[in-house]
Amino acid sequence: MALVVHKYGGTSVADAGRIKNVARRIIKARERGDQVVVVVSAMGDATDDLIALAYQVSEKPSSRELDVLLSTGEIVSSTLLTMALQNMGHPAISLNGAQAGIVTDSSYSRARILKVESQRVVKELDKGNIVIVAGFQGITDGMDVTTLGRGGSDTTAVALAAALGARACERYTDVEGIFTADPRLVPEAQRLDEISYEEMLEMATYGSKVIHPRAVELGELYNIPILVASSFTDNPGTLIHGEVKVEARNKARGVAHDFDVAKITVVGVPDRPGIASAIFVPLAEAGISVDTIVQNASIENITDLTFTVAKSQLARAMEVVQPIARSIGARECVSDSRLGKVSVIGSGMQNAPGYAARMFRTLSEEKINIQLITTSEIRITCIIAEDRVKDAVQALHRAFELDVEES
């Protein structure tokens, strides 16, 4: 008997009716002869609601308590799904992250899975149970509850699939797979039949929140194929895996976007060794992840240093950077929180000239100002004004002919 791990996102378990729909889908998979482990997200907007509640009782909720609070969202959905399955006559049991053996480090709100101690899950499968695991959470060696970062249930699912030797991980959501751009922004976006781990990792990291980047990373590491498909239909979905044929015709695979970009510029920095480390080491120590970094060419040994962070981290980053800027003799520190980014991604872009030019020309024709540019071998990203992101995504999708159906 093969084992498969299913994962259902928040929209798919948003109310009692949808939970029963998911239960029926799981039973179908079970009746095809597979053993099934299921990972669920919290119902609908439950996680956002819990965060809002925490901030109603405290300006600065402690990170430990916040993680325990947020972990309850997934406990609600996992128990309800288990009850629905039992009520339909199928043996099932719910396990929280700790019971499922998801052991993490102790970085609250963004913990990383260190190991999966899967004995309990295996024992329950052997008893004939369908095992429903609360996603997004784990436990430290010291028995404190942690969460894995927003969207982290995907990571729980792939980590369990790897630990259990599952044949695949199937991630069910409210879209029919991975599209060439977010279908909410680009109605003409096309569903991809397949995509490589490498390309999906860039798409997810640069804003395609349909799957968590860490889940894709783990999939690649353990060679677990990940199917992304709809929980509302039986259509085929998109397979994320390692043996994708090289696409000769259209070398760009997709456009990703992210509205969550803020920028800090330290103006008039003396250009001498040690300055970058004086700024970025304390930021790292404060747990702030810095994305794009650009240092201008210096004029008379004075330069500007610009970097981006998530909007939610801007205030904290400014608190850290302002005193440092003063102490190193910089002129001032300025910030802008109304930015976003657009990226064009595709492994065929490697060593192929003209992609960057096409991207810049397209944005210029739309009169969209590019503030910063970063690239990897298979991606070009431009930081632009937040209110132009939608136009940029639509124009790039057309310019790279992603709206043309593959034959």
Among the residue ranges 6-14, 216-224, 299-307, 386-394, the one whose residues contact ligand ADP (CB under 6 A): 6-14
Q: What is the DSSP letter of 9?
A: -
Nearest approach in angstroms of CB 149 to ligand ASP is 8
Binding-site member from 40, 139, 210, 264 for ligand ADP (CB under 6 A): 210
Cβ atoms 269, 304 nearer than 8 A? yes
Cβ atoms 142, 106 nearer than 8 A? yes
Between 151 and 340, CB nearer to Mg ion: 151
Binding-site member from 42, 255, 288, 349 for ligand ASP (CB under 6 A): 42
97 part of the interface to Mg ion, by CB under 5 A: no
Q: Residue 184 binds what, of Mg ion, ligand ADP, ligand ASP, none (CB under 5 to 8 Å, by partner type)?
A: ligand ADP
Report residue 38 as tokens: 């299921």
Residue 209, CA atoms < 13 Å, CB-side half-sphere: 13
| Per-residue contact flags (x/-) with ligand ADP for residues 168 to 187, judged by CB under 6 A | -----xxx--xx-xxxx---
Among the residue ranges 27-35, 41-49, 168-176, 346-354, the one whose residues contact ligand ASP (CB under 6 A): 41-49
38 part of the interface to ligand ADP, by CB under 6 A: no
Cβ atoms 344, 400 nearer than 8 A? yes
Place of tokens 């930015």: 339
134 part of the interface to ligand ADP, by CB under 6 A: no
Nearest approach in angstroms of CB 44 to ligand ASP is 9
- Determine what percent of the chain falls in helix, strand and coil, rounding each to the nearest 5: 35, 25, 35
Q: How many residues bind ligand ASP (CB under 6 A)?
A: 11
What is the DSSP code string of 299-354?
BTTEEEEEEEE-GGGHHHHHHHHHHHHHHTT-SEEEEEEEEEEEEEE-GGGTT-TT
Q: Which of residues 135-164 bind ligand ASP (CB under 6 A)?
A: 135-136, 150-153
Between 131 and 244, CB nearer to ligand ASP: 131
> Residue with the closest Cβ to ligand ADP?
9
Choose among 224, 230, 154, 134: nearest CA to 191: 230
Binding residues (CB under 6 A) for ligand ASP: these are 10, 41-42, 47, 73, 135-136, 150-153
